Amino acid sequence: MKHATGTGHGGRRLTPPLAWLHHHLHTLLDTLGRLSHTPLPTLMTCAVVGVALALPTVMLTLVHNLQRLGGAWQAGVGYTLFLDPGLPDDKAARLAERLRHWPELAAVRFLDRAAARRDFERLSGFHDALEALDENPFPPVILVTPADPDPAPERGEALRRRLAALPGVDLAQFDLQWVRRFRALMAILERGVWAVGCLLGLAVLFVVGNTIRLEIGNRREEIEVTRLIGATEGFVRRPFLYMGFWYGVVGGLLAGLLEEVLILWLAPPVAHLARLYGSDFRLQGMGPAALLALLATGAVLGWGGAWLAVGRHLRRSDPLA
Amino acid sequence: MIRLDRVSKRYPGGHEALTELSLEIPRGSFTFITGHSGAGKSTLLKLIALLERPTRGQVLVDGCNIARLPRRRIPAHRRRIGMIFQDHRLLHDRTVFDNVALPLVIAGADPREIPRRVRAALDRVGLLGQERARPITLSSGEQQRVGIARAVVNRPDLLLADEPTGNLDPDLSREIMHLFERFHARGTTILIATHDLALVRELRHPVIRLQHGRLVERDAA
């Protein structure tokens, strides 16, 4: 009976990493079996975890869709240069030609007076009102897209000033402004969703922790006996941690399912709305990477909740503590 | 093998279960601990198995003062000792096989070897046919034998038994004691707390008699 060495007597043992792996795998599956013996309470807990995780997941997916929409709008949006109404079309076209050589501009589109009028008619529907006018009130227009899709505000403004100062330019307007505001709004919204997500994550932690606490109560006898015959703290803790892990993972899976169902349900009316605006925008569910992240989040929260419950219980119930 | 040096154990609330107790138990011995309820028999066993720590004094097992053993090394110490309880402490939601296998699982034994060793232990206590039974379906004597099989499955050097025959009739008690004698014959050190004085006299092994937490008599039989 030497205390210096870790191994006891009698019989072969697996090499430590193998025995460890075997025991973990065994506990993982054993815990799953145990949970499936009481399907209803297990599913109830998983459902609570699932709903709590589904809420921020759905909101985050919607925010990401809106951000994607904002990104789509931004492409091709830049500065609108309204030229002097009296500027002849050929001079205006030469100005546009000069702008095409600017390295800080990605695209330049020139609309002569007639084209500007056609564009407005098409977009506004004021065809009849324009018919009543004798002459074309529209100036020639140059639309430019900056090479930098998201310039810093001061640099964007500097470029606008340079464009406005060009001879023949009456007014240079920064079209990106409202897209940037939209994106700023989305950033706030995303933060809000994360905050709600953190709160609900905390709720998951406590729900799992409480369920595990009850389970510990049910298995008090088993904990005591295994301790009496030499189980380590890790051995006692492990089945409960894996139980929390399963609650989290299955809850995460349910959350993913709920999210997909909701997105599928919302997709047709969103697609319809997008078509009315002439867009082919489609609502997208979360991808496999996000689903994996969701499952991992569930697993970590479930594990953590179990850890809180088991840690507290073990400290309290150990007579030698 | 075991030496207690002026060991006292005082429980919260002031009750002193053991007072300045010193004794020695040699390796390979078979020793009874007797005394009235509350004399400190169980406390003595609990201190040796490190289920509790002494308030004062040293408990030496193989020269190592286990009173000072750090917490993380307690489980390893307990795994070296086979412990048998009056109320068996079996897990009733598991089969006899799983109960007996538990110490092996805890010790990380090779899973391919577990069935053979569990059957060997059940064979030695005469319960080989009952592997699949639930403990609750067995008689009290059989349950105690499952408890003994669990205690010996890891082949410990030291067996501690706290009132192992407390709930059994004389014939069954004698049977259980003979079981312990068989393990003793194979070299295991045995320490049994009991108040079954008739059986103690019959079996002629050394006796430690406690009274109010003190050693009152040491009878070498």
* Cβ within 8 Å, pair A230-B110: no
Whether residue B98 lies within 8 A of chain A, CB to CB, comes out as no
Domain termination residue (choose one: B156, B184, B207) = B156
Same domain, B150 and B171: no
Residues from chain B that touch A30, judged by Cβ atoms under 8 A, are none
Residue A1 has pLDDT above 50, yes or no: no
CATH at residue B59: 3.40.50.300
Same domain, B66 and B9: yes
Which residues in A have their CB inside 8 Å of a CB on B? 1-3, 6, 8-14, 16, 19-20, 22-23, 26, 221-222, 224-233, 235, 319-321
Domain termination residue (choose one: B156, B172, B191) = B156
CA neighbours closer than 13 Å in the CB half-sphere of residue B92: 9
pLDDT at A2: 40
Same domain, B76 and B179: yes
Residues from chain A that touch B91, judged by Cβ atoms under 8 A, are 221-222, 225
Helices (H) and strands (E) in chain B, counts: 7, 10
| Count of domains for chain B | 2
Query: What is the residue range of B46's domain?
Result: 1-80+160-221
CB-closest option in B69, B91, B154 to A10: B154
How does pLDDT run across A245-286, given as a tens digit for each residue?
A: 999 999 999 999 999 999 999 999 999 988 887 778 889 989
DSSP helix/strand/coil, A217: helix
The dihedral sign for the CA sequence A195, A197, A200, A205:
negative
Whether residue B27 lies within 8 A of chain A, CB to CB, comes out as no
CB-closest option in A3, A225, A235 to B64: A3
B182 domain residue, yes or no: yes
**Which residue did the predictor score with more confidence, B219 or A292?**
A292
B2 domain residue, yes or no: yes
Same domain, B44 and B133: no
CB-closest option in B102, B108, B155 to A9: B155
Residues from chain B that touch A232, judged by Cβ atoms under 8 A, are 72, 75, 106
Cα B181 to chain center, whole Å?
13
Which one-letter DSSP state was computed for residue A107? E
Cα B96 to chain center, whole Å?
19
B187 domain residue, yes or no: yes
B39 domain residue, yes or no: yes
Same domain, B131 and B34: no
Minimum mean pLDDT among A76-80, B2-6, B75-79: which range? A76-80
Nearest to B65 by CA among B78, B81, B54: B54
pLDDT at A295: 96
User: Confidence class of residue A129 from pLDDT cuts 50, 70 and 90?
Assistant: confident
B30 domain residue, yes or no: yes
Same domain, B96 and B69: no
Rounded-to-integer distance, Cα B141 and Cα B167, Å: 8
Kindly indicate whether the ipTM for this predicted assembly is greater than 0.95, answering yes or no. Answer: no
Domain termination residue (choose one: B115, B130, B156) = B156
The structure tokens 């009750």 sit at B15
Same domain, B121 and B55: no
* Cβ within 8 Å, pair B155-A221: no
Same domain, B164 and B71: yes
Cα A86 to chain center, whole Å?
51
B43 domain residue, yes or no: yes
Domains with residue ranges and CATH for chain A = 17-72+181-317 (no CATH), 78-174 (3.30.70.3040)
Whether residue B110 lies within 8 A of chain A, CB to CB, comes out as yes
Same domain, B73 and B108: no
Same domain, B75 and B104: no
* Cβ within 8 Å, pair B80-A20: no
- Angle, CA of A93, A95 and A100, to the nearest 5°: 95
B41 domain residue, yes or no: yes
* Cβ within 8 Å, pair A11-B73: no
B85 domain residue, yes or no: no
Same domain, B110 and B172: no
User: Confidence class of residue A77 from pLDDT cuts 50, 70 and 90?
Assistant: low
Same domain, B203 and B145: no
**What are the CA-CA distances from residue B22 to residues A19, B3, B158, B214 (Å)?**
41, 7, 19, 9
How does pLDDT run across B80-134, given as a tens digit for each residue?
A: 999 999 898 999 989 999 999 999 999 888 888 999 999 999 999 999 989 999 9
